Structure formats: C-alpha cells, structure tokens
Amino acid sequence: MQKILNIEKVKPRVKLIQYIGNAPRIIASAGKLTLSPKEFQEIYDRMTHEKINIWIKELVRRGHGSPLEHSIYIFEVTCSRVASHQLVRHRIASYTQLSQRYSDKYLRRMVRMIGEKIDIDILDKPGGRRDYLEYSTAIMKYLDMDPGFEELLDIVGEAFIIPPTIIGRGDKGFMEKLLESIASYYRLLGLGIPYEDARFILPQAVKTKILVSMNARELIENFLPLRMCSHAQWEIRYIAWRLWRILAEIHPTLFKYTGPRCVLNENRVRGEPCGLEDLINGRCNFTIERCPELVPRSGIRNCLLHASRDPWSLMGGRSDLE
C-alpha cells in the first residue's frame, strides 16, 4: 500500500475560514472583568501578552468557561456523511451543509474521470434522463475493465472518504460496491426518480462539505475533548486533531492546554496546567487516577499517543507530535 500516491484524496479535510484574531486578549480581559470593578476597555488596553497567558491558565484551572464564548472560529470540513452526522450533534455551533438533494458535484467529477478512462465524453452538467443513464452505463463499463485497486482508489477517492482499514487490506471489492451504488443512483435518476428519493441508495461514505462556526468554549470543553479521544470514531477524531493543530498554531495561548477529555480533566486538578504536547512527549506526567473512559493512569499516555496518530498510517505510523 506504500505505492498509493493519492492517499490525501480519500481523507477528510479541515480548513479555517475566519476567526477573531484578538480572541485570546478579549477572553483574558473578560475573565479579569468578573473580578475587577474597572471598565472592560481599560482592562483590555492594559492586557499584556504575559497577563493573557496568566488569565488563560486561570480559566483552565478554574473551569471558568463563559469568557471563552467571546470568540468565534469558522471552518469548513470535507468529510463523509458518517462524520457529518456526528459533527452536527454538537449543539453550541452553527452549520451550513452542501445539499445532497440538489448537488451531486463530487459524484459527477468521479464519473468524468471514469469517462476519460473508457474514452467517453461525459457532460459536466447533464441535460436530461438520457445523460444520467449514460453515467450509469459508463460506470458499469469501467467496472467490466477490471481496474486495479490503486486506480480504483484514485477514482473512488474523488467522491468518497475511504476507511483506512479498507486501504490497509487493499479491498478492491469495497471500491467496486461503491461504484455499483453510484451506477444504481444514476440509473434511478435516468428513470425519472427525483434526487431526494434516488439519494436513499447512496453510501454514507459519500463526501459532503459543511461550514461550522464554534466558539472557544464549545471547542475546548466539548468538541475537542470528546472527538480527540481514542474512543472517538476514526474520521471525526482525525478531523478534531487536524482542527486542534490549526487552532494551536493561530492561538497557542488558548489551545495549548486543550486535548482529549483526559487532558481536560488533568488540567482541572493540576496546580499548573500542562500542555498537550508536553503530555504526549512525557515532559508532564498524568496525576489523575483514571480518565473518563476508565483507562488507568499508567495507560493514559499510550492511549493519547494512539489517538494522535493519523489513522491512515497505523501500519507502523508514529504520532506527528512525538
């Protein structure tokens, strides 16, 4: 499997769209506001970088979450429908998702690639039922050519998120079933079945895009602790770790002490909070008896290391934080 060149195509993607650049200063100032009679503007104007670090640490230690809500992070996620259904369960967030009822753009791009393989010109925008039937026929003709696993992965990766276990096994039949389902989908459209009904046959692996807005409190106290954990499903875990890395780069003061629930719990009881990277690299040791998932103290770091690994590189893969 080391020869696969387009592995990135089959992974979820996370892109930060917009955020409040001075959020750490606002949050630290809001934290101090709860204890100071001064006007917010005066507190904000006098809030130095050093004081920001002190106040953020204090919020972490005390679990004082409301100041964290004075922020917003807007990011776009490309993932499977499996992951998007988990993502929208986080209630303190806003979502706008690509409509599967009105758009089949990922599928059409995949069919165009198939058309190139079998030397058939596939229309970018189908004009009627006959075009949909041609889509279906093209897919089945391509499958009759018995393409290899790596070629199938490149084709199918245009429209689907592929589990790492499937790639690790080189499961060609999995890819073929995905293509057969799309052939059935376009056959139904060609027979006059509306989008909203034909989509019932689509696999949950099909890609979607979703725009997400969350504040720092939801990220730090809920989304990241739950979804970065090794017990989270691999795709949403990958998305959470990718997002954390982006956030830790732009606002390290805010997200340094963030991580799976074991990290959140650890930093709530320590005299001095410890950063996620320090916990992963063993520069800090866990003091809690067990994590919320009942992993004993002696096993928490190994569990954390496992959670941080890219699930597509588990065959001897290392954490990129080690």
Q: Is the pLDDT of residue 124 over 80?
A: no
Q: How many CA atoms lie within 13 A of 93 on its CB side?
A: 26
State the Cα–Cα distance between residues 228 and 243, nearest whole angstrom: 10
The 8 Å CB, 24+ separation contacts for 133-136 are 133/186, 133/187, 133/190, 135/108, 135/111, 135/183, 135/186, 135/190, 136/183, 136/184, 136/185, 136/186, 136/187, 136/190
Catalytic residue among 108, 217, 227, 242: 227
State the Cα–Cα distance between residues 33 and 156, nearest whole angstrom: 53
pLDDT of residue 214: 97
Q: Is the pLDDT of residue 3 over 60?
A: no
pLDDT of residue 273: 93
Q: Is the pLDDT of residue 316 over 50?
A: no
Query: In 162-197, which positions are buried (b, 16+ CB within 10 angstroms) versus exposed (e)?
Result: bbbebbeeebbebbbebbebbbbbbbbbbeebeeee
Contact at 8 Å (CB) between 223 and 236? Answer: no
Helices (H), 79-157: 81-87, 105-117, 129-144, 149-156
Q: Annotated catalytic, 13?
A: no
Q: Is the pLDDT of residue 128 over 60?
A: yes
Q: Is the pLDDT of residue 314 over 70?
A: no
Contact at 8 Å (CB) between 111 and 139? Answer: yes
Average pLDDT, integer, range 286-308: 95
Q: Is the pLDDT of residue 317 over 60?
A: no
Closest CA to 206 of 88, 108, 69: 108
State the Cα–Cα distance between residues 188 and 174, nearest whole angstrom: 22
Contact at 8 Å (CB) between 22 and 45? Answer: no
Burial class (CB in 10 A: 0-12, 13-18, 19+), 2: exposed
Q: Is the pLDDT of residue 1 over 60?
A: no
Average pLDDT, integer, range 81-86: 94
pTM of the model: 0.91
Percent of the residues in the chain that have a pLDDT greater than 70, as a whole number: 95
- Tens-digit pLDDT profile for residues 219-234: 999 999 999 999 999 9
Q: Around Cβ 276, how many Cβ atoms within 10 Å?
A: 24
